[in-house]
Structure 1
Amino acid sequence: MVKNEIVKRAKNAGMFSVQIDSTQDISANDQCAIAFRYVVGDRAKERLVRLVNVNNSSDKCLHSLLQNSLAEIGLTLSQCIGDSFDGAANMSGVYSGLQALMKAARPSHIHTWCYAHVLHLVISDASSECVAAINLFGLLNEMCLVFNDSYKRMKVWEEHMQTKTGNKKRLRLERIGQTRWSSRCRALRKLLGNYADQSSELFSDFLIILQDVSEATDFKGSVRYEAHKLGENLRKFETILMAFIFIRIFEIIIPVSDYLQTPGLDIMQAWRMINKATESIEKISRDFNDIYETACGFVVRANYKLEVKIFVPNSFSISTSRSSRSAPEHITDKKKIFEVLYHNTVIDAVLSSI
């Protein structure tokens, strides 16, 4: 009944656009979601109409799947005036992608590369641009697993948080998802707080618990060793610096991403927000000193709570990135090398992708 009403409204509108995306479900089947976007009165409506199992994700097979799905409900591709897909070649290819095949049915057909997917690629690229970024998000995932995958360790965490807050509310790190880049933002902000205000941080709590686990004789040696190594890596000043680099970026991009997923969004407002976000990132693109001072201030406050202190080093541990890039030979200061190789590299990756 609901599906019939959606189809009826799309027909009455006389035209519609389509959104298609697929992902694997828990049983490893590729499920394709087909959604319509149409206008009722002066309001744009976006509705899911079908979920289809996909055995072949080539452009021609997806085109046939869409065509057959529309025919089953009495619609044709000639009524489809536009689409919004991700940037994959099989979907958005100019000459052989699904959108090119749809244009053949209606030459005035308008293709839009979903900007929410663009932002996903922006963060994905930046998160894997250098070794320090890869290590940071790998560390967050390991910290999530070390507690969430063991009721015994989780009990230690809950008892600590109950002592601190007076309740048993489970404050956990979120597992980093491959397709939900916003999970990286939530995990970082839960760990360190906001860029300007870190009062809600759980960083020191994690370090305290990791130290307790590493010293507890009722845990296996392998668990104690893992907790010790996680604590060591989390306590590194380079880890904290890289985390604040990404928190600063996320706080600019997240509002744009949220708005782009708002029903009935204003297209012009969306573009204004995208342009403003780009300008904001350009403005901070070489402002590493502010991040450095923020990280130093965070360390000072965290050290009041910690038995094993965090030290702001005179020199940094610099690892080469995947592309083996190196700083110019005339730069010898380790802080400046960190800025050039890591901070500037990540910011430039965001600006080139957005």
Structure 2
Amino acid sequence: MLLFRGHDESNDSISRGIFIETLSLIREHNESIYNVTLEKAPKNNKLTSPNIQKDIVECFSKEIIKSICDEIGKDVFAILVDESSDVSKKEQMTMVLRYVDRLEVVKERFIGVVHVTDTSSLTLQAAIDSVFTDNKLSMAQVRGQGYDGASNMCGEFNGLKALILRDNKSTYYVHSFAHQLQLVIVAVAKNHDGAHEFFEQLALVVNVVCVSYKRKDIIRESYKKRLQTEIGTGETEAGRGLNQELSLIQARDTRWGSHYKTIISLMNLFPEVIEVLKYVEEDNSTLYNRNKVYNILSYFKTLDYVFYLHLMLEILGLTDTLSRHLQRKDQDILEAASLIRGTKKSLQTLRNDGFGSILKKVYSLCKKHSIETLDMSEYYVTLRNHRTKISNQYHFEVEIFNTVLDMQIQEFGDRFSEVSTKLLENMAALSPCDSFSKFDKSKLLKLCTQMILVIQKGHIFLVNLISTIAICYMMTDLLT
């Protein structure tokens, strides 16, 4: 990002900002501009004050948005909207227009950030109407809308999606596939008590370990010594590109793929993290911080924690490939549908046959780092030392493993239904890529059938699409 204004705009500064630097360059090649700008400006009329520069930026913004709207003209477009609060806690709504230009190139253009008093659906709709009015756009031109999965955005009755559909029945709602996958993981983390506590502890330990450079240096030096020892004993291979320096990766709430990287880094740096936590517990002077680190260490030394660590590593590992693919700009519909189906199958296979292999990995890590294991036939004792009437086998296999994966599979099926996946696969038959190489009459017929079912639910606007598909089908009969 290039700054329009410079931090230091004095004559002696070497970085005065884009505005003044560009003006200086232009005036060097134009005598008439040179004679009336900067130090040659009449009296104090330099037009370089912060207020003047803000006015110029606003003029640029209006001209750019005007050119985007002129390019759209009376054609149709889709809107992409998201809302969030800035650092000053003011609610902001961002808005993007998606359309096809005269050269048939799909474009996405950011047209601004709008301050809103709250994030209710009615307020957001009013803000969108205001933007449309200011730029001479009409809701009748909208053919698509895309938001996240929040209830105020995609609610069936009072969400922003529903309000816009009442004004224009042709505004198809599309939920981002990548965001849906994130919601699958989030749903499990929120609704399962053990998984929720695991991710909370995961965030706590990263914050404690990464809060200072001194603690990071302890991890770095300790990991280096461990590697040297393991290479000397033959436990670890040495070679070019191997054994690179590692650090504990900070997880981000909006990107659940980052949690996968955090778990991997924690798995690789497990003894070093324990060492840092012990150092913090002994070195910290406040009782609150000592108790917090003591609780983290106590949790780290339980079989529950190690089991969740391996289980979440397996689940996030299965979904990571799909997550990265769904965020690609050149996304292939057929490949995405295939990966969705493959991920569902992999999760089901893990649910049916994976408990034994995960338990084996858990015991291996416990043995390596001297963590107490449990007899699976004995009664389970909770983390708060409460003896239950269920066995350890039942707790780990049924209450954790089966329950978490069942929730994951069910949520995955709800977010990526078989109907929507097949709809995508059949729509790919209309792709013009490679001279309609994926054109398939049988898929067109299936697509027509699916669309008719949608029409029966009241979506009459799809009639034209079905008519187009039917014409394509009849033309292929004539050609063959």
Query: Taking structure 1 as the reference length, what is the TM-score of the superposition?
Result: 0.80
Residue 301 (structure 2) aligns with: 235
Counterpart residue identity of residue 272, structure 1 = S
Report if the CA contact (8 A) 1:45-1:263 is conserved: no
Residue 35 (structure 1) aligns with: 96
1:314 match: secondary structure: coil
State the structure with bigger RCO (CA 8 A, min sep 6), 1 or 2. 1
Which entry has the higher C-alpha Rg, 1 or 2?
2
Whether the aligned pair in 2 keeps the contact of 1:123 and 1:350 (CA below 8 Å) is yes
Distance 2:335 2:105 in 1: 16
1:306 is aligned to none
Identical residues among aligned pairs (%) = 23
Equivalent residues in 2 for 1:193-204, closer than 5 Å: 201-204=268-271
Gaps in structure 1 of 5+ consecutive residues: 193-200, 304-308, 321-326
TM-aligned CA distance change 1:107 to 1:132, over 3 Å: closer
Quote the residue 2:347 is aligned against: 281
User: Alpha-carbon deviations, 1:40-88, whole Å to 9, x = none?
Assistant: 4455333322211221322222112112212323322111101112233
SS at match of 2:219: helix
Q: Which residue of 1 aligns with 2:314?
A: 248
SS of equivalent to 2:107: strand
SS at match of 2:100: strand
The residue number in structure 2 matching 1:105 is 167
Tell me the amino acid that sits aligned with residue 270 of structure 2: F
Rate the CA distance shift 1:66–1:345 in 2: closer, same or farther, 3 A: same
Q: Residues 99 and 168 of structure 1: is their aligned pair in 2 closer, same or farther, counting only changes over 3 Å?
A: closer
Q: Of 68, 72, 86, which aligns to 2:134?
A: 72
In structure 2, the partner of 1:125 is: 187
> C-alpha root-mean-square deviation of aligned residues, in Å?
3.1
Q: Residue type matched to 1:230 in 2?
A: I
- Residue 372 of structure 2 corresponds to which residue in structure 1? 311
Aligned to 2:464: none
1:256 to 1:44, Cα distance in 2 relative to 1, 3 A: farther
Summarize the Cα distance change of 1:87–1:142 in structure 2 as closer, same or farther, 3 Å threshold: closer
Which amino acid letter does the alignment assign opposite residue 274 of structure 1? Answer: I
Read off the aligned partner of 2:271 and give its amino acid letter: S
The equivalences for 1:141-156 within 5 A come to 141-156=203-218
Secondary structure in 2 matching 1:209 = helix
Give the direction of change, closer, same or farther, for the CA distance of 1:168–1:289 in structure 2 (3 Å limit): closer
Q: For residues 102 and 289 of structure 1, what CA distance do their matches in structure 2 show?
A: 50
Alpha carbons of structure 1 residues 47 and 160: separation in structure 2 relative to 1, 3 Å: farther
How much has 1:351 moved relative to structure 2? 1.6
Q: 1:336 — aligned with what?
A: 394
Could you tell me which residue of structure 1 aligns to residue 151 of structure 2? 89
Q: Give the structure with the higher percent helix.
A: 2
Report the alpha carbon displacement of residue 341 of structure 1 after superposing the two structures with TM.
Answer: 0.6
Partner of 2:359 in structure 1?
A: 292
Q: Is the 8 A contact 2:154 2:161 kept in 1?
A: yes
Shift in CA distance, 100/230, structure 1 to aligned 2, threshold 3 Å: closer
Counterpart Cα distance in 2 of 1:161 and 1:130: 34
1:109–1:168: structure 2 CA closer, same or farther, 3 Å change rule?
A: closer
Q: Is 1:171 the counterpart of 2:233 in the alignment?
A: no
1:186 match: 261
Q: CA deviation at 1:119?
A: 2.1
Match status 1:353 vs 2:402? no
Q: 1:225 to 1:67 in 2, by over 3 A?
A: closer
Task: Extract unaligned runs of 5+ from structure 2.
Answer: 1-62, 229-242, 413-480
Distance 1:74 1:260, change over 3 A: farther
How far did 1:290 drift? Answer: 1.9
2:78 matched to which residue of 1? 17
Counterpart CA distance in 1 for 2:331 and 2:67 is: 23
- Can you list the C-alpha shifts for 1:220-267, whole angstroms capped at 9, x where unaligned? 264555444423321222211111111111112222223333224233
Q: Aligned partners of 1:80, 1:291: CA distance in 2, in Å?
A: 50
Q: 2:258 corresponds to which letter in structure 1? A: S
Q: Which amino acid aligns with 1:312?
A: T
CA contact (8 A) 1:132 1:239 kept: no
Q: Which amino acid aligns with 1:25?
A: D
Match of 1:220 among 285, 305, 315: 285
Call closer, same or farther: CA 1:9–1:202 in 2, change over 3 Å.
farther
1:5/1:19 Cα in 2 relative to 1: closer, same or farther (>3 Å)?
A: same
Q: Is the 8 A contact 1:132 1:319 kept in 2?
A: no
Letter in 2 for 1:231: L
Q: Which amino acid aligns with 1:271?
A: A
Inter-CA distance 291–59: structure 2 relative to 1 (3 Å threshold): same
* TM-score normalised by structure 2 residue count: 0.61
* SS of residue matched to 1:107: coil
SS of alignment partner, residue 81 of structure 2: strand
Structure 1 residue 202: Cα displacement = 0.9
SS at match of 2:408: helix
Indicate the residue corresponding to 1:211 in structure 2. Answer: 278
Larger mean Cα displacement after TM superposition, 29-38 or 227-236: 227-236
Judge which range, 176-185 or 238-247, deviates more: 176-185
